[in-house]
Amino acid sequence: IMVLPREGLTDGNGKQLVYDRVYYVGEQDFYIPKDEKGEYKKYESAGDAYADTLEVMRTLTPSHIVFNGAVGALTGDNALKAAVGEKVLIVHSQANRDTRPHLIGGHGDYVWATGKFNNAPDRDQETWFIPGGTAGAAFYTFEQPGIYACVNHNLIEA
């Protein structure tokens, strides 16, 4: 959950920033245990999976990293849409791991990487850093038609 300022967002110089849409991108990491054949294990209940899941989590190597809870949750028919000229606020969170949102084809006109709206936003950020356990926000005006992919720019994990 991110609470936006009651008086709205500003550019850091007091000028009001008005957006047409707000999109939420939740980045989740999952730690699914595998059996001796390398197949994902199934359990009767979450409680039954607890010990095995903790063991996988202690490796700090997720089996899956997804946006909004599922593979493809923000692609195809589920893609987030904006028209040319629209101003969009993208709220991005990651509960456990650091992330580096990057809007391919665009950038963050104004970025509050740690969600501190009393602070002046960073400007014109190509990639921004959001620490684990934090939600950040980026304001962007779509100036050209096309497909803009939003990715975690931690390319070693790509």
CATH of the domain at 144: 2.60.40.420
pLDDT band at 14 (very low <50, low <70, confident <90, very high): very high
Does the pLDDT at position 154 exceed 90?
no
Looking at residue 1, what is its pLDDT?
74
Query: pLDDT tens-digit profile of 37-80?
Result: 999 999 999 999 999 999 999 999 999 999 999 999 999 999 99
Q: Is the pTM of this model over 0.95?
A: no
Is the Cβ–Cβ distance between 142 and 106 less than 8 Å?
yes
Query: pLDDT tens-digit profile of 108-149?
Result: 999 999 999 999 999 999 999 999 999 999 999 999 999 999
Would residue 36 count as lying in a domain?
no
Would residue 58 count as lying in a domain?
no
> For residue 96, which amino acid is it?
N
Q: Which residues constitute the domain of residue 140?
A: 9-29+66-157
* Number of domains making up the chain: 1
Would residue 23 count as lying in a domain?
yes
The 3-state secondary structure of the chain, one letter per residue: CCCCCCCCEECCCCCEECCCEEEEEEEEEECCCECCCCCECCCCCHHHHHHHHHHHHCCCCCCEEEECCCCCCCCHHHCCCCCCCCEEEEEEEECCCCECEEEECCCEEEEECCCCCCCCCEEEECECCECCCEEEEEEEECCCCCCCEEEECCHHHC
